[in-house]
Amino acid sequence: MAKEQLEIIGESIDLNKTVGELSIANRQLVAICRALSLDAKILFMDEPTTALTNKEVERLLSIVTDLKAKGLSIVFISHKLDEVFKVSDNITIFRDGKKVGDYASSSLDEKTLVYHMTGRDVEYPRYKRIQQKDEPIIEVEGLTRKNNFEDINFSVRKGDIVGITGLLGSGRTELALSLFGLNRYDSGSIKFYGKTVKIDSPQDAVNIGIALLPEDRSTQGLFLDKSINENISSAKVDKLKTKFGTVDVKARKIIAKENVKRFGIRTPSVDLPVKALSGGNQQKTVIAKWMVTNPKLFILDTPTVGVDVGAKAEIYEQIHNFAKEGMAVILISDEYEEIRANCNKVLVMREGRIVSHFDDEEINSPSFRKELESVVNSDETQKEEVSL
């Protein structure tokens, strides 16, 4: 039966594997096949592409289109508007828990849809570096971790937002984890403010001024059952202890309230469990948690995954402000618009190496998207060492 259902959607998966061994994309296919095996007439898909790469998204959307053509009714819940337009005949828009209206897809464009979703015009203005000093905050030289990445060279200055992009498995997240001390690198060196440093643990990274917003906020960035209050102060809890070794609860709550206001986290109380927040407000909580430590370098791994367009614009504005105030930022993403709007330099990783880079002028050119996609998706084996 499992084989038959996979054949219906035109896919093949090893039926002897456990679901835990499968990629997230293939887990989605298993869920779809399970629904089909129950002879479902209507299929609800809630944010089905959140953790997928661009190629996996295209594969899933193609399957959705085929199922629709075979007579299955689908409710596709998403804030990724390009995907909504690709698969939808009709669009129902919600805002703040209330239905705004029902529209034929052909009657809407992206700008109008965003306006109905948020109640305002949302723009993603391009970031422009204003810092005058060019001394790097971090310099990475020849960094290598076996089977993850090799001979990585780049630097980040005050006010830089350096984008790192590439397909899943390109080594981009593994590099971020090594810079934060979670995956020890085998060779190479890291200089911070011109001084060679050894980062063997996250505590080493935090101590010198590095913060990491991880790829998966639910399992890596938050204590979901703990309060917003406790989450925001969690990276600084050692400095909030009284002389008796207990946490200064009053000081912790003051910090939480200040940062809820600063980052626009929408909540009636800082005592609510963080799992009660929307995806965008959860992400703002992770950002607030790390900003409490006053980082000099902030590494953001896919910072707007699972975040709606309104919260996305707010997070972009915050990232721009961090850089304008002199912070160095590394932004990891595979979203073209995210890279274009936020980065003044872009590195492309493939098979564990940096294979190309783009400067601010190239990012601003009309042909940037085509050139970036060409490099990211290229199967060529040519390697280019890049030193910024």
Q: Is the Cβ–Cβ distance between 311 and 318 less than 8 Å?
A: no
Partnered with residue 191 across adjacent β-strands are 139, 196
Mean pLDDT, range 330-357, rounded to an integer = 95
Looking at residue 51, its pLDDT comes to 66
Give the up-direction half-sphere exposure of residue 183: CA atoms within 13 A in the CB hemisphere. Answer: 16
Residue 273 lies in a domain: yes
Looking at residue 379, its pLDDT comes to 56
- Residues 29 and 25: their CA atoms lie apart, in Å, by 7
Residue 308 lies in a domain: yes
Whether residue 165 is found in the same domain as residue 230 = yes
DSSP line for 295-332: -SEEEEESTTTT--HHHHHHHHHHHHHHHHTT-EEEEE
Residue 118 lies in a domain: no
Give me the sheet containing 136-145, strands edge to edge.
149-157, 136-145, 187-192, 195-197
Asked whether the CA dihedral 320, 321, 327, 333 is positive or negative, the reply is negative
Whether residue 225 is found in the same domain as residue 144 = yes
Boundary residue ending a domain (52, 70, 88): 88
Asked whether the CA dihedral 50, 331, 288, 320 is positive or negative, the reply is negative
Boundary residue ending a domain (29, 57, 88): 88
Mean pLDDT, range 243-267, rounded to an integer = 92
Whether residue 81 is found in the same domain as residue 146 = no
Boundary residue ending a domain (50, 66, 88): 88
Residue 164 lies in a domain: yes
Mean pLDDT of the chain: 90
Q: What is the number of domains present in the chain?
A: 2
How does residue 54 score in pLDDT terms, banded at 50, 70 and 90? confident
Mean pLDDT, range 248-277, rounded to an integer = 94
45-59, 115-129, 278-292, 305-319: the lowest-pLDDT one: 45-59
Looking at residue 285, its pLDDT comes to 97
Query: How remote is the C-alpha of 163 from its chain's centroid?
Result: 12
pLDDT exceeds 80 at position 227: yes
Looking at residue 345, its pLDDT comes to 97
Looking at residue 123, its pLDDT comes to 85
Residue 385 lies in a domain: no
Among the listed residues 293, 259, 266, 261, the one whose alpha carbon sits nearest the alpha carbon of residue 282 = 266
- Strand pairing category for 136-145 and 187-192: antiparallel
Looking at residue 143, its pLDDT comes to 98
305 vs 42, higher pLDDT: 42
Q: Is the Cβ–Cβ distance between 383 and 355 less than 8 Å?
A: yes
Mean pLDDT, range 355-376, rounded to an integer = 92
Whether residue 64 is found in the same domain as residue 183 = no
Residue 167 lies in a domain: yes
pLDDT exceeds 50 at position 332: yes
pLDDT exceeds 90 at position 12: no
Whether residue 83 is found in the same domain as residue 151 = no
Mean pLDDT, range 33-44, rounded to an integer = 89
Looking at residue 200, its pLDDT comes to 94
Residue with tokens 């009309």: 366
Instruction: Output phi, psi for 92, to 5 deg.
Output: -105, 130
- Residues 60 and 9: their CA atoms lie apart, in Å, by 10
Looking at residue 380, its pLDDT comes to 43
Whether residue 192 is found in the same domain as residue 54 = no
Mean pLDDT, range 63-91, rounded to an integer = 92
Whether residue 76 is found in the same domain as residue 147 = no
Residue 88 three-state SS = coil
Residue with tokens 């944010």: 47
Looking at residue 50, its pLDDT comes to 72
Whether residue 84 is found in the same domain as residue 144 = no
> Where do the H-state alpha helices sit in the chain?
2-8, 24-37, 54-69, 81-87, 110-118, 172-179, 202-208, 228-233, 249-262, 279-291, 309-324, 336-342, 360-363, 368-376
Residue 130 lies in a domain: no
Q: Which domain holds residue 348?
A: 136-376
Looking at residue 224, its pLDDT comes to 94
Whether residue 185 is found in the same domain as residue 84 = no
Whether residue 16 is found in the same domain as residue 145 = no
Whether residue 179 is found in the same domain as residue 260 = yes
Judged on CB neighbours under 10 Å (0-12, 13-18, 19+), 118 is middle
- Residues 77 and 79: their CA atoms lie apart, in Å, by 7
CATH number at residue 55: 3.40.50.300
Whether residue 34 is found in the same domain as residue 154 = no
Residue 168 lies in a domain: yes
Q: What is the pLDDT of residues 106-129, one digit of tens each?
A: 999 988 999 998 888 888 899 999
Query: How remote is the C-alpha of 276 from its chain's centroid?
Result: 20
Looking at residue 201, its pLDDT comes to 95
Residue 345 three-state SS = strand
pLDDT exceeds 60 at position 298: yes
116-125, 174-183, 267-276: the lowest-pLDDT one: 116-125
pLDDT exceeds 50 at position 340: yes
How does residue 382 score in pLDDT terms, banded at 50, 70 and 90? very low
